[in-house]
Structure 1
Amino acid sequence: MAAEAKQSGYEGRYVQGFQFYLKHSGEHKAILRFIDSVLPGEFERIGAGKSNLDVLGVGSGAGEMDTQMLSIFKSTFPAVPLTADIVEPSTELTEEFKASVAKTPNLQKIPFVWHTMTSGKYEKQVRGKGDMKRFDFIHMIQMLYYVDDYAGALKFFHSLLKNNSKLLIVHEAANSGWDILWKTFRKELCTKSISDYLSAGDIEVHLKSLGLKYEKHAIPNTIDITDCFTQGSELGELLLDFMTEQDHFHSSLTPELRAGILDLLRNKCSTEKDGRILFDCTLSSILVYA
C-alpha cells in the first residue's frame, strides 16, 4: 500500500510502482490540500506563547510533506526558533529531503537532526539514552503499515509530545479500497514486509483504548486503475505489483487468486466513471491531542 518508504528497504520494482502510484493517484496533492487548509490554524494554537518549537517527522521519505508543514510553522512564527528531527530509514530518500531543504530558503536556517533508521530503532535509541526530547508537533504519514508493534509505536511517540501539542497520523481510511483489498486477502498478501494490515479505523480503536482524544478529517482520493484490466499493460502490471506487494503479479499468484483480486478491485474497491475504473484510495487524517 501507499507509504513513504518500506521500513525494510526502498528498492527495485517496489520503488517503480510506488512512484507510479504517487504520480497517478495525486496522493501527495490530496494530503497537501489538507495540510494547507487545516494545519495553519492548528499550528497557531500549538505555537501560541511558546519560546521555541520542535517538530518530529516519522517516516518522512523525501520530505514533500515535511517541507510544507515546516514552511507553514516558520511563516506563522518567524521569530520563534524551530528545530526538526527526521526519522527515515532510506538513505536515498533522506538525501532527496536534504536537497529539497537546500532549495527552500526559509528552511535553510532550521537545525535538522537526521535519524537514518526505522522508527523502532529510533525508539530503542531514545529509550537507551534516557533523555527524551519532546516535541510540539509529530507526524506519521503513511508509515504505520511497516511497524511491527504499531500500538507500542503510537504510545511511544504520543509520550514525546509536549503540553498543548498534536500528533498527526495520516493513514488509509476504513472501508477504503485498500482496506477492503488487504483485509479480504490478508492471508495471501500479508507475507512480506507487511505482517498484518490495519486501517485508520483500527488505529482509532487503539487510540480509544488508550483514552486519547483525537479528531478526524477525511482526505478523499481515487486513482485510475483501468490499465490493471488491460492484458499486457506494463503500467497495469506495475500498479498491481505495488497494490499487492508482489514482484510480478501475474506470475507470482495463482490464476484463481489473481481472478479473485481483480474481481474485488473492480466491483468492491472502485467506481466506474466514463468508462474508467477509479480505485478508492481515500485517506484519514487523525489529529491526536497530547
Structure 2
Amino acid sequence: MVSVIMATEEKQAGYGGRYAQGFQLYVKLSQEHKAILQCLDYVLTGEEFERIGAGKSHLHVLGVGSGAGEIDTHVLSVLHSSFPDVPIAVDVVEPSTELTEQFKALLATMPQLQKMPFAWHTMSCAEYQKKVQDDGETKQFDLIHMVQMLYYVDDYAGTIKFFHSLLKKDGKLLIVHEGANTGWDILWKTYRKELCSKTISDYLSAGDIKVHLKSLGLQYVERIIPNTLDITDCFVQGSEAGELLLDFMTEQDHFHRSLTPELRAGILDLLRNKCSTVKDGRVLFDCSLSCIVISACSVCL
C-alpha cells in the first residue's frame, strides 16, 4: 500500500522486520516505482509544468514524506533537464533519520543534483506545519510533491490546505496516491475495522482525496497510473513469498497467525474475487494509482 516506507505524525510506519521485507517484495513484483516514475515523466514534461519555470530566476521544490529519495531525485532530475539554466533549491520533510541518510547517500551518486542546496527537515508533516506557522515563515514553493504519504495524517483537508497555501503563483501540488475502487481501496474499506488498528487508523483513496479537494475549492487534474501485482502465491499454502505479501498488504505480523480463520478466509476470498482479475491462471491484484496535480489558484465555491 505504501510505496515509500515513511514514519509520520504520531503513527510510526514499520520500517524493519517482516513489514520491510514484504514492502521490498511488493515493490519488486509490482514495479510500482517504475509505474510512478513513468507517470511523473509524462506529467512533469507537459505543458502545464512549463509554466512553473517560465520567466523564473530560480525554482524551489518541497518534498513531503520523501523517504530515501528515489522519487525526489527523479523529479529533480526531470526539472533540471527541463530548466537547465534555472537554479533549483530543495526542502525535504522526512521524519526518519535512517531514510534521510539514505537520501543523502543517493544524492552523492548524482553529480547533476549536487549543486542544488538542500534544507533537511527531519520531522513529521504535522511538526513541519507547526514550525512554519510558529515561525511565521514566508517560504513558498513552485512544486510540492506528496507521494503515498497522506495515510499518516489525521487532518487530510487541513494538511492539503496548508501545503497548498505554500505554493507560488503558477505553482503545483502533486499528490500520488492509491486509486479509487482499486484492490487496495476495496480491501481496506471492506475490512476497515479489522485492519485500521495499527499504523493507519483510517483509510482513504484518491477518490476520498478528491472529495476534500472539491470541498476546499481547489482545481486539479487527475491521471490514472494502471498497475497490477501477481498475488498468486498468496493462495499457495506454505509459500513464504505469499505470506510476506499478505503481511504487507494487511499490515500484519504473520497473516496466518495473527488473524482468525474466518477473517483470513474472508480476506483471501475478497482478494481473489473482488480486488483482482485472473489471467492465465494468475491472480492479478489491482494496485493502480492516481496522480493528482493541483493548481495554485482555487475556484470560487
Indicate whether 1:95 and 2:70 are aligned: no
Percent pairwise identity? 72
Post-superposition Cα deviations, 1:12-39, rounded to whole Å, max 9, x if no partner, equal 2211111111111000000011011221
Secondary structure of 2:203's aligned partner: coil
Farther off after superposition, 254-263 or 76-85: 76-85
Indicate whether 1:242 and 2:264 are aligned: no
Counterpart Cα distance in 1 of 2:234 and 2:105 = 34
Give yes or no for contact 1:43–1:73 (8 Å, CA) kept in 2: no
Farther off after superposition, 231-240 or 42-51: 42-51
- One-letter identity of the residue aligned with 1:88: E
- One-letter identity of the residue aligned with 2:241: L
Counterpart Cα distance in 1 of 2:174 and 2:220 = 10
Secondary structure of 1:157's aligned partner: helix
Aligned length: 290
Indicate whether 1:113 and 2:149 are aligned: no
The answer for the alignment partner of 2:299 in structure 1 is none
Q: 1:30 aligns with which of 25, 29, 35?
A: 35
Q: Please list every run of 5 or more consecutive structure 2 residues that lacks an aligned counterpart in the other structure.
A: 297-301
Post-superposition Cα deviations, 1:112-140, rounded to whole Å, max 9, x if no partner, equal 11111111111111111111311000000
Give yes or no for contact 1:51–1:80 (8 Å, CA) kept in 2: yes
Counterpart Cα distance in 2 of 1:39 and 1:274 = 36
Superposition pairs for residues 89-168 of structure 1, below 5 Å? 89-168=95-174
Secondary structure of 1:37's aligned partner: helix
Counterpart Cα distance in 2 of 1:129 and 1:22 = 38
Indicate whether 1:257 and 2:263 are aligned: yes
Farther off after superposition, 141-150 or 277-286: 141-150
- One-letter identity of the residue aligned with 2:278: E
Per the normalisation by structure 1, the TM-score is 0.98
Per the normalisation by structure 2, the TM-score is 0.94
Counterpart Cα distance in 2 of 1:152 and 1:210 = 9
Q: Please list every run of 5 or more consecutive structure 1 residues that lacks an aligned counterpart in the other structure.
A: none
- One-letter identity of the residue aligned with 2:257: S
- One-letter identity of the residue aligned with 1:140: M
Post-superposition Cα deviations, 1:237-284, rounded to whole Å, max 9, x if no partner, equal 111010000111111111000000000000000001111100000001
Give yes or no for contact 1:213–1:288 (8 Å, CA) kept in 2: yes
The answer for the alignment partner of 1:204 in structure 2 is 210
* Structure 1 position 151, deviation (Å): 1.5
Post-superposition Cα deviations, 1:129-169, rounded to whole Å, max 9, x if no partner, equal 11131100000001101112121111111111011010000
Q: 1:233 aligns with which of 231, 239, 242?
A: 239
Indicate whether 1:15 and 2:28 are aligned: no
The answer for the alignment partner of 2:85 in structure 1 is 79
Secondary structure of 2:171's aligned partner: strand
Give yes or no for contact 2:43–2:49 (8 Å, CA) kept in 1: no
